[in-house]
Amino acid sequence: MRAMGALMGLVKVTTVASSASDRGDDVVTKYIVRRWDDIYPWMRFFARNCLPPPYDVSVAPPRPDLCSVFDAATLCITPLSLICTKSEEGRHLLRSSVSVQHFVAQLWILVGNLGGDVLQGDPRTTKDGLVSMLRASFALTNQVCVSESEDPDRITLPLSNYIQAAGGVKAVVSTLLRYIRRIIRDAVAVEEPRSWTTRDRSINQLHLYTVGLHYSFQFLQTVSRQDASCRAQLIRQGSVRTVVNAITQILPRILVQANKELDFHPQLGLADRQNVLWAGYSYIASAIRDADDGVTSVCQAIDAGLLQTLEKGVVCPPHANRRDHPPRGRLGDIELLFLLATFFVYHRVVDSICRHWYRMQSVPMEKREIRDKGLGVALELVLTFTIHAMDHRSVEPINFHEYRCSGPGCPMCTSKFVSKKRRCSGCLVSIYCSEKCQRTAWRNGHKKWCRVLRCTVGPWGSRDIRTSLRVIAGFETNIISGSAKDVETRVREAQQQFPAFSNKLVLMLDMTVYPPEIHVLPVHKIEQFPGNDTIWPEIADEIRQRSDSPPKGYMFSVVKVHLGKSKFTLFSPSTALRMAFEGQYFSDDEAYNSADEDDEDDSKMLGDQDLDYDEESLDDTDGSGDKCYEV
């Protein structure tokens, strides 16, 4: 009891002294951090004996007679909050001590699992609001533990130490998302402010919750960036959806212009409130950029209503006529919008866009005064881009190579295949209904275009790229044709810059940025297209011979896309699809019947290549000797 009284007195005195003094950092460092060896054992004692277990808060504390749950939580959490906000030396202690990080991680799990009726015994605070305030304030301590040190010369513990103490990746992820959902629930429940002043209780409550949400977003981004397992688990558990829902609910409460006193307050001001939103936007952007599968993250964001939420951000709902917005920060809504636009070339994303526009049709149109001009212009550009994406996907037939046998003249649709479908394992694009079609296609040009088609779907053979070739081709054709003058200028500049390679120039359409950029470079400077490979000059010659409007000044075009952190340079989908499948789909079966007549000679030719087939191998091998796998 004497230890509890002494520790509680020290915490209260330090809290008051640090708030009243201009040198609060020195007070906390002197009386808490530098006496940590005396204080910390008692904090662990009260946590172990007077708090419920972190992973099962329904279990009663081992020694409830020592002190109440509320007093134990105060003794364990308040010193940590003080050193996080007031002492640089204390923050380094949290980042560098294994035992302290274990202690903080278990407290964080405990607070995340507490219900509203657990902390009783405080006569000054209602039990319903106490846990909510504790959860919001403890988010800072948690973020400090895993953040990088302010001093680059000081060692910071790896994130794995914290994850292990918290019970593993799944425990960290589920608790973090639970924190965000509960903080949002509490913030939305705050009563509407009456006076819109810094003394209003609702304003201060809302500030506490938004600050807790801000640090939770930062913690989310930190663990996602530092640990690949956490990043993947967050995406699987719908972290992007959770953050979008949080921003959607909190935006009307904090994106409010009130008056000069409040809007430009150093802590409660509008700029600081907007930073909370941008912290969430920054996590969504990092989840898309850093993931192996950024398409899934983009679909989650659009399906959760991110585009509708950003549309609401162009105005301030109440009191919008008082003052203009403070200057926009970086890593915010516009950057996220432009990042989303770079994924509109994917079929799955266009499906999400279609669902977005379907939802918008059922919402009555409201005439809004756009006060955030920058966001308004960016939003208009991106929404126009979504319409272009839907137009490109609606071109018939959609990815015809996916729904019809690629054998020359074969009228068979994949839905009518009697035997197993065979996909060429070389290009991953062509599908055949039989061995006969495989052989016929090989000698009718697939031998050459197989490799080119593989360069069109990328080295990984991503299904997202393969099923989106027509959408990518649509963007490629429209952008290049709509930038004819820019293309001519780029070609002339490249010819002057690379005079020795003026006949080996390639136009690259960079779709990894928005708006897309056009570059002209020698073929040997383009990834996946070695300059000394003879196939590319041959392909360029064939393009010029077979095209009604061959490219002027360059061999062919390529498109640069990304799936997240991986970027791929693809051979022109519009050219590859047109050239590789040109003339294969006839209105009659003449070509196909003529192929039957030469089947015996073709078998002899294949036999000369030592390609012997037995009954089993017919299901997985094409006429080229390349393996085919079943669809």
Q: What is the pLDDT of residues 360-406, one digit of tens each?
A: 887 766 666 676 777 888 889 999 999 999 998 877 666 677 778 88
pLDDT in tens, 547-564: 878 888 999 999 999 998
As a whole number of angstroms, the distance between CA 389 and CA 345 comes to 7
Neighbours of 412 (CB within 10 A): 17
> Do 618 and 469 belong to one domain?
yes
In this predicted structure, the answer to whether residue 10 has a pLDDT above a threshold of 90 is no
Quick one: pLDDT at residue 56? Answer: 82
**β strands within 418-529, DSSP E:** 422-424, 431-432, 505-510, 517-522
**Choice among 94-108, 393-407, 456-470 with the minimum mean pLDDT:** 393-407
Quick one: pLDDT at residue 334? Answer: 86
For residue 528 the two structure tokens come to 């996946």
Under 8 Å CB-to-CB from 513, ≥6 apart: which residues? 338, 342
In this predicted structure, the answer to whether residue 607 has a pLDDT above a threshold of 60 is no
Under 8 Å CB-to-CB from 86, ≥6 apart: which residues? 18, 24, 25, 27, 28, 29
Rounded mean pLDDT of the chain? 81
As a whole number of angstroms, the distance between CA 357 and CA 387 comes to 9
Quick one: pLDDT at residue 285? Answer: 92
Q: Which residue has the higher pLDDT, 557 or 593?
A: 557
> Do 35 and 58 belong to one domain?
yes
Neighbours of 442 (CB within 10 A): 23
As a whole number of angstroms, the distance between CA 103 and CA 107 comes to 6
As a whole number of angstroms, the distance between CA 121 and CA 119 comes to 7
Q: What integer is the mean pLDDT of 519-548?
A: 84
Residue 331 pLDDT grade (very low, low, confident, very high; cuts 50, 70, 90): low
In this predicted structure, the answer to whether residue 18 has a pLDDT above a threshold of 80 is no
Q: Taking Cα atoms as reference points, which of 435, 352, 410, 404 lies closest to residue 593?
A: 410
Quick one: pLDDT at residue 366? Answer: 65
- Phi/psi of residue 457, nearest 5 degrees: -100, 0
> Do 46 and 131 belong to one domain?
yes
> Do 384 and 482 belong to one domain?
no
Quick one: pLDDT at residue 618? Answer: 31
In this predicted structure, the answer to whether residue 345 has a pLDDT above a threshold of 90 is yes
> Do 386 and 306 belong to one domain?
yes
In this predicted structure, the answer to whether residue 196 has a pLDDT above a threshold of 70 is yes
Quick one: pLDDT at residue 119? Answer: 59
Q: Give the end of a domain, one of 134, 151, 167.
A: 167
Burial of 525 (0-12, 13-18, 19+ CB in 10 A): middle
* Cis before 397? omega within 30: yes
> Do 98 and 176 belong to one domain?
no
Which element (helix H / strand E) includes 464? Answer: helix 463-466
Amino acid identity for residue 244 in this structure: V
The residue with tokens 């609702």 is 202
Find the domain containing 24 and state its range.
Answer: 1-167
| Domain total in the chain | 3
As a whole number of angstroms, the distance between CA 126 and CA 326 comes to 36
Quick one: pLDDT at residue 407? Answer: 85
Q: What integer is the mean pLDDT of 590-617?
A: 36
> Do 35 and 138 belong to one domain?
yes
Collapsing DSSP to helix, strand or coil, 413 comes out as strand
Quick one: pLDDT at residue 561? Answer: 95
Quick one: pLDDT at residue 613? Answer: 29
Q: What integer is the mean pLDDT of 233-254?
A: 93
Amino acid identity for residue 123 in this structure: P
* Contact by Cβ (8 Å): 441, 430: yes
In this predicted structure, the answer to whether residue 298 has a pLDDT above a threshold of 90 is yes
Q: Which residue has the higher pLDDT, 331 or 432?
A: 432
Q: What integer is the mean pLDDT of 349-362?
A: 90
Q: Is 263 left (phi over 0), alpha (psi -120 to 50) or beta?
A: alpha
Beta strands 422-424; 628-630: pairing state = antiparallel
Amino acid identity for residue 222 in this structure: T
In this predicted structure, the answer to whether residue 210 has a pLDDT above a threshold of 80 is yes
Residue 507 pLDDT grade (very low, low, confident, very high; cuts 50, 70, 90): very high
* Contact by Cβ (8 Å): 107, 77: yes
> Do 404 and 355 belong to one domain?
no
> Do 140 and 207 belong to one domain?
no
The percentage of the chain sitting over the pLDDT mark of 70, rounded to a whole number, equals 84
Q: Which residue has the higher pLDDT, 417 or 312?
A: 312
Q: Give the end of a domain, one of 149, 167, 185.
A: 167
pLDDT in tens, 156-166: 888 999 999 99
pLDDT in tens, 35-79: 899 899 999 999 899 888 888 888 888 887 888 888 888 888 888
Which element (helix H / strand E) includes 89? Answer: helix 88-96
> Do 291 and 310 belong to one domain?
yes
Q: Which residue has the higher pLDDT, 557 or 9?
A: 557
The percentage of the chain sitting over the pLDDT mark of 90, rounded to a whole number, equals 33
Q: Give the end of a domain, one of 102, 135, 167.
A: 167
> Residue 621 pairs with which residues in a beta bridge?
627
> Do 21 and 153 belong to one domain?
yes
Quick one: pLDDT at residue 396? Answer: 63
The DSSP code sequence of 219-238 is HHHHHHHH-HHHHHHHHHTT
Collapsing DSSP to helix, strand or coil, 557 comes out as strand
> Residue 345 pairs with which residues in a beta bridge?
none
Entry pTM: 0.84
Quick one: pLDDT at residue 585? Answer: 42
As a whole number of angstroms, the distance between CA 216 and CA 136 comes to 9
Residue 23 pLDDT grade (very low, low, confident, very high; cuts 50, 70, 90): low
> Residue 568 pairs with which residues in a beta bridge?
561
* Contact by Cβ (8 Å): 320, 257: yes
> Do 110 and 183 belong to one domain?
no
Burial of 59 (0-12, 13-18, 19+ CB in 10 A): exposed
Q: What integer is the mean pLDDT of 76-94?
A: 88
3-state secondary structure 282-331: HHHHHHHHHCCCHHHHHHHHHHCCHHHHHHHCCCCCCCCCCCCCCCCCCC
Neighbours of 191 (CB within 10 A): 10
